Structure 1
Amino acid sequence: MKFIYLSFLLFVSALGFAQFPGAAQNTITGKITATVIDSASGKPVEYATVALAKSGQTKSSNGSLADGKGVFKIENVRPGRYRLSVSFIGYNTKVLDPVETTLSKPDLNLGEIRLSPSNKVLKEVTVTGQANIIENKIDKIVYNAEKDVAVAGGNSTDVLRKVPLLSVDYEGNLSLRGSSNVKVLINGKPSGTMAGNMADALKAIPADQIKSVEVITSPSAKYDAEGTSGIVNIITKKSNLEGISGSINAGVGTRQNSGNGNLNIKKGRLTLSGNAGGYYSWPQTSKLSFNKTSNDQSVVLKQSGESTTERLSSNGSVGADYDINNYNSISTSLKLNWFQFSVDGNNLNQNQFGNIYNEFNRKSDTKTRVIGYDWNNDYTHKFKKEGQEISFAFQFTRSNLDNDYRSDFLFPTGSSIQDSSELGNSDAINKEKTFQIDYVHPFKKVVWEIGAKTILRDISNDSEVEVFYPYNNSTVSNPDRNYLYNYNQNVYAAYSTFGFTLAKKYGVKAGARVESTVIDGNANNGSAKNNIDNSYHNITPSVVLSRSFKNFQTVKLSYNQRIQRPSLFYLNPFRDSSDPLNASEGNPKLSPEISDNFELNYSTFIKTTVINASVYYRRTSDIIESVVSNYTLDNGKTGSLTTYTNVGSNNSYGFNFFGSVNPIKPLTLRANLNVNSYDIQLNSQSAGASGANNDKTYLMYNAFASATYLLPQGFTVETFLITSSPRRSFQGKNPSFSMWNIGLKKELFDKKGSIGINVIDPFNDRKNFESEIKSADFTQRSNFSIPFRSVGVNFSWRFGSLKVSNKPKRGVSNDDLKQGENNGGAQGGGVMGN
């Protein structure tokens, strides 16, 4: 713990030094904003082109595009004198020279810029345009979901499928560049619901509530060191309009129904906001076939049947922000989450154990419920020196995960085995307290960031299994499967980063983060008590070097080390044996993953063309994967048990390409391709559980392509295609995935509303997803068939207008847990589309 105290002393000393009056001033960047207005009609000029050059010159070095309300914003503007030109078809170009920003006032609002109609009057001018859906920034890629026609009416998984670098399989499991080790944040903060099954938690967020998605592949040391492949930050909609404003969104479809509403009240320095929404998926029936055969053919397990899945979710939030004065501000928010899904199944089981053959029907009823809340509080103090600030944040999050099931085993008449029912329930609670302090100090050419953070995590689980025998109306408890599980994980961290620019072309940001993890707990199942005691310390460096060229070209080289701690989903020892031949449980003894990540990236913006390409290498040790093995049932027979373990290390080389182009003004084409390798080196324990050829290197890919066309009279049509290869594990492969979508939207009420229709896979009523697992003892194959074709109608309406107010994002961001992925099987029935 010594380095914790040393880090704290360093931090306090840094604050004292920061106040030293001789500190140098820093060259910072600001922004230029304005609204483009038609001088004759007084209406906004939509999608006007804005170019920024040095004063007295015409060669532009920066620029922007006005949005649908005529508002533009040029960011990353260094203090100086500039020439600003605004142009659009049918208008005379307006030139402002000089336009000046200074160190004391780096942000400049020019108010209204009026364009006069050209003397060369056109008989008819049809104006079409589109704000950027994809933004390529130096440290991240931003997907602006609110500007996309084809994401309304679904849930967040439908949005994430369209984000560059990401892929989402049929169950809703998220991966970044082929790795499922992704940390998901909501508005820059963790959510307690993500501590369980992340795939189901993502389905609880309506697509209409999402403003944008940020993908950060090379996080700096300021971020938690968690997420070996990177961070995905989902930004929800929140209006910054002065006065009263809000929105209503609703969708009805053959698969899913959704709705949400937002209300924002801003008066002076006080802002109040509220949101409520949810979704309901119609019951959908999936078909399952399963075959497991031992290598000596002595044991054969077969299943075939159907299961019906139903999902229901609701969420809401309230928040308040208050600017005390120009230097101090506070905010608080409370977010509530609730969702549940139920699965009712009926399977025929035909099993052979040597010369013994048995057959039975299994009827199951499984219910999973999650309820939780996240409470965030933030205080920020800005000093008189530009860019110097300190912030304090506190977050408390709690989530309750309840998993109950009942399985009825019905044997044929005349069987020597009596009918029985197994009843299981698990009540898990995840509580987290987070304290965080961050300080930023600008020097003459360097920006220094330093901070400290503490996460106190408390996980508990109480689970019980009973067997009911109808023939004598008796209930028997199984003490070996009754767990009392307590797990405490405390993380203490400190970081420091430095960022600076050399010769106006070279950018450097480097830093390091120190994290100490202290774990203690116990798992008591009645007959045995296992104590958990583990502590480890990590120093995770990060560095990003960038070089800018003319025509907005940038080359970036980065390195960072990341860790991945297992969350409750992976740790919970409760055995879910609603299907005893396919049971699953967590592993409380998992170690964290450690990865080293190298990336070379190239990006450019040429007129309407955006290109982002990168090559990368990632080495991950102690990688966590699911493992299927044999286990002995209470009746002495053999079944399959899925759990998680640290299987070894993985080397992954990859390539990613994203491009967007407008070959003609109304048409936008986008494409994304990611290819990466899977090359696992197993440890001795996992090597014995594998029957596959692990010396082989596999290539995996995911790709996305779309076309958007703007039609007259407010119509927009879009189509997109998603495809991905099977996802590999050391024991086999999981299903591939593909989806085709067509969307049409019509703007209403002077662009304050819209109505649209989405069609998913019109030629595929159902889709089959096949998996294969091989071990040293058996081969297991399964096919999961789910309804897929869907049609949905969506409606949205925005109300309120007035003055725009931009506020910085504040708050806690816990990025430190490996989050759950769906196991598949009877509970995997993912909801696709509407």
Structure 2
Amino acid sequence: MKYLYLLLVVFISTKTFAQMPMGAGGGSSAIIGKISGTVIDSITNKPVDYATIALSKSQQTKSTNGSLADDKGAFKIEKIIPGKYRITVSFIGYQTKIIDPVTTTNSKPDINLGTIKLSPNAKLLNEVVVEGQTSIVENKIDKLVYNAEKDVAIAGGNATDVLRKVPLLSVDYDGNVSLRGSSNIRVLINGKPSGTMAGNIADALKAIPADQIKNVEVITSPSAKYDAEGTSGIINIITKKNNLEGMSGSVNAGVGIRQNSGNLNLNLKKSRLTVTANGGGYYSWPQTSILDFNRINNNGDFNLQNGRSTTERLATNGSIGADYDFNKYNSVSSTLKLNWFQFGVDGFNDNKNSFGGVQQAFTRVTNNKNRVTGYDWNNDYTHKFKKEGQEISLAWQLTQSNLVNDYDSYFSTVARQEIGTSDAINKESTFQLDYTHPFKKIVWETGVKAILRDITNDSGVDSADLSGGNRIPVDGRNFIYDYNQDVLSAYTTFGFTLAKKYGVKVGGRYEFTDINGFATGTAAFTPFTNDYGNFVPSFVVSRTFKNFQTVKFSYNKRLQRPSVFFLNPFLNSADFYNQSQGNPLLGPELADNFEINYSTFVKTTIINASIYYRATKDIIESIITNRSVDGKNISFTTYDNVGRNNSVGFNFFGSVNPTKKLTLRGNFNIYTYDINLSAASANISAIEDKVYLMYNGFLSATYTMPKGLTFETFLITNSPRRTFQGRNPSFNMWNLGLKKELFNKKGSIGLNVIDPFNNRKNFESEIRNPAFIQSNNFSIPFRSVGVNFSWRFGSLKVNQNPKKGVKNDDLKQGDGGGQAGGGMGN
């Protein structure tokens, strides 16, 4: 309760301070309005979708605000202070139209320009290329944004398929995501943490249909207002939401030889109330994998396995939310998200081993079931002051997820069965208070946050004698483990410009972490407590040049706390000779990140290049060692803080339109792995002490054809990933997609093909230890063909009541706002 009292005191004091300027002169602040309208073709009278609308002061050409028209040609520019303005409307192949002056007043702050007609003009094509279209990849002041809804070749898939195409990211064959070579990332949904990500992120991403994703934000150098979690950065997945007035919805479905999906979205907006709902599901056909495993100890003992397993995945999810504006200054938002995800692995292994000269051969049959269920309930309140840009917001989130892992194993040589179960419950309560105050040339942001996290894991293992039917609990492996983690934080940032061309944003965040853990039912775990505080500064300075060139330098400190996936002390011995267990004593990683970034936009070409350095101490990696069980040295996997990694990297992203119809994109990232091991880790590593070079990248091409046809192809390649004990598999993939628009762009049908010439792929890994060498080859079916369909329905119009509601996140996206950029160099 002391944390709640602390938050209450800070809220009251901040609220009081926030209102002080209003007493002095707040009454003279201008009313904020908007300018709206609809753009159509002067000949066909059809909407000009995605036309560019630029706003500037009357009799001036320098744009200060703007908007894009939607697929109905409708647009709106919000946060307009009463005055005289110049409106410039343009689009590819049309003559630019200027409306000057457009006057708004305190008594009439909202202006509807009605229908604006653009006249076709072929002579202007070379001058206005790509002005009216949203690029698939956008380089913003504080982040890189991948607009998934504009991509042809992801429909019918899941979030993993989307992330594979995002610059700076790489995704391996099993769905594990890394950012510039580091898997220590923070994944958010609509700017908020989700309980579904508390366990295995790779599995959680497979449960999110691609058709629900609007865009993905990649933030490599977050400012102090973001949580310090994630040493390499933040990935923010934004789901689709319709802000137009009326009733609308969409249906998306995909059927393929590997996976199937379906999703329904409904949106209702009437005046100041918005209600949204969606539901969907995902199912992958059972796929059979082939495993070859070899482990040879230095003393001559060995364990050889080969077998097959069948994996089947099924997921459903849904949400319902509502936003309401009480008036121009006060609004609330509430969203409830539900999720359910399950996958099962059934198979067998033929084992041949030798321990102490005694050879044995047997077959092991295993059934493994994993299930994740949970919910996220988010509530936000925002109060905006009459002074533009000044606001205070309060957010509360309640999340819970249940992670269940059950298995049973049968052994052919003995009439014995082992039955194991692990039921982990993760509960989180989050409270956050944020305040923003603009001064004359400085924007000040401050806030506090509390995350109260409780994890309970009920584990049990029984051994059953099939001949007699007796089921006996295994001593020391039936227990309840409780893990509590509370994180209290406070931040402040200042953003300002110098000499018009320099932008600066500096800030600091302090996070205090309090941890305790204990177990009942066993003496195998000693209760422990731990607490630590971390100050995480952030700094970014940007310099703009002519021709849209920008150079930025940024620094920040980040930390990575281990999740329940790494902490869970449940011993999984479904395979007696390959056991795994989490480490509840893991400490956090700490990383210092430096980055220099250059970006430019020249006609139809976008270039973004970065040089970065990341120094991470107490890096968390898996550890594979020998473990003596029943006199046999078996393979045992756990996790530990193995040492310090210093990584230097270079990233390049480019996009170019050689012709109006063709877009080429490419991303390449090369970085080093240079580990300095702790004394304990050095004793179990047999790899050479040298710097390893790794890379990942992709190439893609999109070609638009007549009659609403679009073709896209892309190629992904990742090098093998190094660890302090060896290497994990490389990964590559080739994808082709074709989409045909239907029903006046309200619907579409598409065809996706993945790796047409590779029915299966092999993934090889190798681990070296002074006591053994372990190699593994995993083969899975890969070639895939799928058909997807989408349809949008409903009658929409531009809402005439300006919405002031809550930003649907607790991290306040878009740090620019005319001031210094947020913390990212991309």
What TM-score, normalized by structure 2, do the two folds share? Answer: 0.91
SS of the equivalent of 1:293 reads strand
Q: 1:327 to 1:471 in 2, by over 3 A?
A: same
Equivalent in the alignment of 1:662 = 657
1:128–1:710 Cα contact (<8 Å) kept? no
> Does 1:475 pair with 2:471?
yes
SS of the equivalent of 2:400 reads strand
The residue type equivalent to 1:430 in the other structure is N
Question: What CA deviation, in whole Å up to 9, does each residue of 1:790-822 have, x standing for no partner?
Answer: 00000000112422456552344699xxxxxxx
Equivalent in the alignment of 2:187 = 184
SS of the equivalent of 1:159 reads helix
Equivalent in the alignment of 1:505 = 501
The residue type equivalent to 1:308 in the other structure is T
Superposition map of 1:627-642 within 5 A? 627-633=623-629, 635-642=630-637
Superposition map of 1:399-548 within 5 A? 399-411=401-413, 418-524=414-520, 526-548=522-544
Equivalent in the alignment of 1:653 = 648
State the distance in 1 between where 2:460 and 2:742 align. 55
1:27–1:444 Cα contact (<8 Å) kept? no
Question: What CA deviation, in whole Å up to 9, does each residue of 1:213-260 have, x standing for no partner?
Answer: 111111111111101011111111121121111100000000001001
Question: What CA deviation, in whole Å up to 9, does each residue of 1:38-85 have, x standing for no partner?
Answer: 234432124545566775566879877655443567899999876544
User: How many residues are paired up?
Assistant: 803
Equivalent in the alignment of 1:16 = 16
SS of the equivalent of 1:501 reads strand
1:104–1:386 Cα contact (<8 Å) kept? no
C-alpha displacement of 1:37: 1.6
C-alpha displacement of 1:501: 1.5
1:445–1:500 Cα contact (<8 Å) kept? yes
State the distance in 2 between where 1:202 and 1:490 align. 26
2:662–2:702 Cα contact (<8 Å) kept? yes
Equivalent in the alignment of 1:383 = 385
Deviates more, 1:796-805 or 1:95-104: 95-104
State the distance in 2 between where 1:544 and 1:31 align. 32
Question: What CA deviation, in whole Å up to 9, does each residue of 1:142-177 have, x standing for no partner?
Answer: 111111111101110000000111111000000001
Question: What CA deviation, in whole Å up to 9, does each residue of 1:439-480 have, x standing for no partner?
Answer: 111111111111111111000111111111223332222122
State the distance in 2 between where 1:636 and 1:104 align. 87
SS of the equivalent of 1:802 reads strand
Superposition map of 1:201-280 within 5 A? 201-280=204-283
1:241–1:801 Cα contact (<8 Å) kept? no
> Does 1:696 pair with 2:690?
yes
Question: What CA deviation, in whole Å up to 9, does each residue of 1:742-772 have, x standing for no partner?
Answer: 0000001110000000000000000000000
Equivalent in the alignment of 1:782 = 776
Q: 1:80 to 1:386 in 2, by over 3 A?
A: same
C-alpha displacement of 1:285: 0.2
Deviates more, 1:109-118 or 1:20-29: 20-29
State the distance in 2 between where 1:266 and 1:398 align. 29
The residue type equivalent to 1:18 in the other structure is A
State the distance in 2 between where 1:103 and 1:590 align. 59
Equivalent in the alignment of 2:731 = 737
Equivalent in the alignment of 1:684 = 679
Structure 1: 5+ residue runs without aligned partners? 412-417, 816-834
C-alpha displacement of 1:9: 6.6
Equivalent in the alignment of 1:140 = 143
Equivalent in the alignment of 1:830 = none
Superposition map of 1:515-594 within 5 A? 515-524=511-520, 526-594=522-590
C-alpha displacement of 1:382: 0.9
Equivalent in the alignment of 1:825 = none
State the distance in 2 between where 1:474 and 1:295 align. 39
State the distance in 2 between where 1:107 and 1:596 align. 47
2:506–2:538 Cα contact (<8 Å) kept? yes
C-alpha displacement of 1:188: 1.0
The residue type equivalent to 2:363 in the other structure is N
Which residue of 373, 376, 391 corresponds with 2:375? 373
Question: What CA deviation, in whole Å up to 9, does each residue of 1:696-753 have, x standing for no partner?
Answer: 1111111011000000000000000000001111001100000000000000111000
State the distance in 2 between where 1:305 and 1:121 align. 64
2:583–2:639 Cα contact (<8 Å) kept? yes
The residue type equivalent to 1:154 in the other structure is G
2:301–2:357 Cα contact (<8 Å) kept? no
The residue type equivalent to 2:789 in the other structure is F
2:516–2:528 Cα contact (<8 Å) kept? yes
1:4–1:492 Cα contact (<8 Å) kept? no
Which residue of 133, 136, 153 corresponds with 1:150? 153
1:288–1:785 Cα contact (<8 Å) kept? yes
2:547–2:601 Cα contact (<8 Å) kept? yes
C-alpha displacement of 1:96: 2.6
Question: What CA deviation, in whole Å up to 9, does each residue of 1:662-714 have, x standing for no partner?
Answer: 11001111111111111011111111111111x21111111011000000000
The residue type equivalent to 1:767 in the other structure is K
Q: 1:167 to 1:121 in 2, by over 3 A?
A: closer
1:393–1:437 Cα contact (<8 Å) kept? yes
1:617–1:653 Cα contact (<8 Å) kept? yes
SS of the equivalent of 2:203 reads helix
2:266–2:277 Cα contact (<8 Å) kept? yes
SS of the equivalent of 1:663 reads strand
2:36–2:74 Cα contact (<8 Å) kept? yes
> Does 1:798 pair with 2:800?
no
Identity score, percent: 67
Equivalent in the alignment of 2:356 = 354
Deviates more, 1:595-604 or 1:475-484: 475-484
State the distance in 1 between where 2:421 and 2:648 align. 43
State the distance in 1 between where 2:692 and 2:495 align. 38
Which residue of 316, 319, 322 corresponds with 1:320? 322
Which residue of 807, 810, 815 corresponds with 1:809? 807
1:153–1:792 Cα contact (<8 Å) kept? yes
The residue type equivalent to 2:698 in the other structure is F
Equivalent in the alignment of 1:748 = 742
> Does 1:608 pair with 2:604?
yes
Deviates more, 1:48-57 or 1:771-780: 48-57
Q: 1:620 to 1:28 in 2, by over 3 A?
A: farther
1:517–1:537 Cα contact (<8 Å) kept? yes
**C-alpha RMSD of the superposition:** 3.1
Q: 1:59 to 1:335 in 2, by over 3 A?
A: closer
Equivalent in the alignment of 2:164 = 161
The residue type equivalent to 1:780 in the other structure is Q
State the distance in 2 between where 1:485 and 1:349 align. 33
1:394–1:812 Cα contact (<8 Å) kept? no
Equivalent in the alignment of 2:818 = none
State the distance in 2 between where 1:334 and 1:511 align. 32
